[in-house]
Amino acid sequence: MFKLNLLNYKFTSLILIFVCFLSLFTEVSKSNNYFFLAILLFSLFLNQLEFKYKKFLNSIIALTVIYVQFILNDYTLSKEYFINLIFILLLLKYAELESKENHYFFNFTCIFFSLCTLIFGQDLISSLMAFTVVIISIIQLYSLNQTKLISINLKNLFKYLSISFLIIPIVAIIYFVFPRTEVNIKLFETKQNTLGIPDKISLGSFQNITNSDEDVFIYTPDDILKDEKFYFRVKVYDILNRNNDWVGLDYDSQLTKFSKDIKIRNNKFIKKSNSKLLIFANEKKWLPKLKEYSFKSNKLKNNLFNNTTSATFDITSKQAYEVYKDKKDYLYSKNLIKYYTSIPKNKFYNLNEWSEEIYKNSDNDLDYLNKILLEFSNNNFFYSLSPQNIGNNYEEFFFKTKTGYCEYYAGTFAILARLAGIPARIVSGYYGGTYNEMGNFYTFKQQDAHSWVEVLINNEWLRYDPTLSIPTKNILDTNNENIFNQINTTELNLNIKGNNDLNIKIYFDYFNYIWTNSFVQYDNKSRDKFIKDNLFSQKTFKNGSKIFLTLIIILTLIKFLNIIFRKKIFFNYFFNNLIKRNKILNFYMTHQEIFNNLTNKQKLQFKEIFDKYEKIKFSDEYKISNKDFLNLNKIIIKNIIF
């Protein structure tokens, strides 16, 4: 039979390190993964060496890598940082694996690491890997006490798994009771996180942020809307500064400047909605928001001018929100309309000339705006993620290069609208998303970042997306196919139907979504409610008492039946009682020595018990009758009690 050498602890430890790494690699950056790999290679090399000051050298290395990890974590003391440090400790500890004591420490650290990732981890892969680490660690702790090769068979396999699964109740208790407090202390100001939307719109702002395929949020609509494309707004830019950057006025300044220039009325028709939004950690406060929807939360800050929403805290972990239909009617004063049309015309002489000529030949504002879109679609404009660097020169883009991506077209469209006296502003956020048929949800990635324009017509902001005007044949390169409404969807889906990997990914994304939602929904508030409702309630006490009494009765019944069917006589209780009552006796005497040291009265009283004991103990042919079985136990119990 094939035998597995579980006494090869170093090999099993390498497996543990590999599984621990799998639970982390999707949660950290590529540079951090390379850093982990470098530490592992160093530990493997150091493990092969034998010299006097190995532990001292390892300690010096440990201090160095802790500092490097601090830099990789953007100088932030967070839960992720401490979990990464535990993993680094495992990597460095491998270099010292020699004695069993080292292996004990290594495996207990693995268990501690897996429990931390189970508590704080929220995706399916990391949770499965963490649970696997627990199982392997417990098996290795068990094998550390073995002295021979252990065969792989069903009996041993069942034994290992039984021992391993004993950890499940402990994990459940830790998860349901342990507080999930966020630790996130930033000691220094560092580079800005590229995940999200830029604070200003310049020509080229989106070039770097759209290269990432990192998940940003998941939206679950209340209705099945497979073919619908959603525009999630994040930031609004309503000022064109002297450098031709589009920036946004902060909400407090808007309130101070325009609090009397806007009137907002809630629409009476509010549709109840079960739509949900799950946002991933972005280390910012912004939240993606649909135009006519609001969040069911009192802890968020709503910008009534821009119709955007932000959290009151940095989003450092996944957060789940419910959203509902909430359309508002706006009424703007002339002063505020003037603000949304302000633009230095002398900076855009050629654009202003073109605008005056086109507007003069237009029927109304809407006709003029449509002619701008026709210009983009009919006059050799191209979409490319790597256009010529022209700075913030919108005129050069419009009249010469004619190549760019979303902010090129949105910025130019907003300028042309304002030059014609039409209130306009740029909105940036996320568009499209990837639809999952199993779970009816959309996953939005960083590459879905997009910008478009809103114009104010009859006190209502209308959305214009000039990027969608670009003909399909003029698309040079892109990361987000959703932004082109003229792409042949049949061509795009040819590979989808025949790609089994993609189908598997749909299933995996669905199960991961269900798993993640379950974890995220169980926050500190849910935990407190769970403890109050299930651990300290009167109903729980009554049910617990009933269960406890039932277990006592069942165990007593099992014990009683075991005594009856096996005809078990309480000889041990009897001899122990005699030894305690007669101080000259001790536990090392045989039953004959005990009998010889009894008084004459005791010998007469207990002779039958000793005779029966001798026959039952030393005679294979003797079988005690039911009558003698009951009679002996009766005498023994009577003697013990009285």
Angstrom distance (rounded) from CA 4 to CA 596: 55
- Residue 577: name the closest of 600, 601, 606 by CA: 606
Instruction: Kindly write down the DSSP assignment for every residue of 40-102, as one continuous string.
Output: HHHHHHHHT---TTHHHHHHHHHHHHHHHHHHHTTTEEEHHHHHHHHHHHHHHHGGG--SHHH
Contact present, 174 and 117 (Cβ < 8 Å) = no
Predicted TM-score (pTM) of this structure? 0.64
Tally of CB atoms within 10 A around 421: 14
User: How many Å separate Cα 632 from the centre of its chain?
Assistant: 65
Contact present, 424 and 416 (Cβ < 8 Å) = no
pLDDT at position 414 over 90: yes
Angstrom distance (rounded) from CA 111 to CA 114: 5
* Per-residue b or e along 612-635, where b marks 16 or more CB atoms closer than 10 Å to that residue's CB: bbeebeeeeeeeeeeebbeebbeb
- The answer to whether the Cα torsion of 528, 534, 540, 545 is positive or negative is negative
pLDDT at position 256 over 50: yes
What are the start-end ranges of the E strands in 459-582?
460-464
Tens of pLDDT, residues 27-80: 777 888 889 999 989 888 888 887 777 778 888 888 888 888 888 876 777 777
- By the 10 Å C-beta count (0-12 exposed, 13-18 middle, 19+ buried), 33 is classed as middle
Phi, psi of 213 (to 5 degrees): -105, 20
The alpha-helical segments, DSSP class H, found in 244-333 are 251-258
Residues with Cβ within 8 Å of 571's Cβ and at least 6 positions away in sequence, in order, are 609, 613, 636
pLDDT confidence tier of residue 194, bands split at 50, 70 and 90: low
pLDDT at position 227 over 90: no
The alpha-helical segments, DSSP class H, found in 385-457 are 394-396, 406-419
Amino acid code (one letter) for 57: L
Tens of pLDDT, residues 262-282: 888 776 555 566 788 888 877
pLDDT at position 447 over 70: yes
DSSP code for 483: G
For residues 254-268, give the mean pLDDT.
82
For residues 579-588, give the mean pLDDT.
75
Tens of pLDDT, residues 151-186: 555 555 566 666 556 666 665 665 555 554 444 444
Q: What is the pLDDT of residue 372?
A: 94
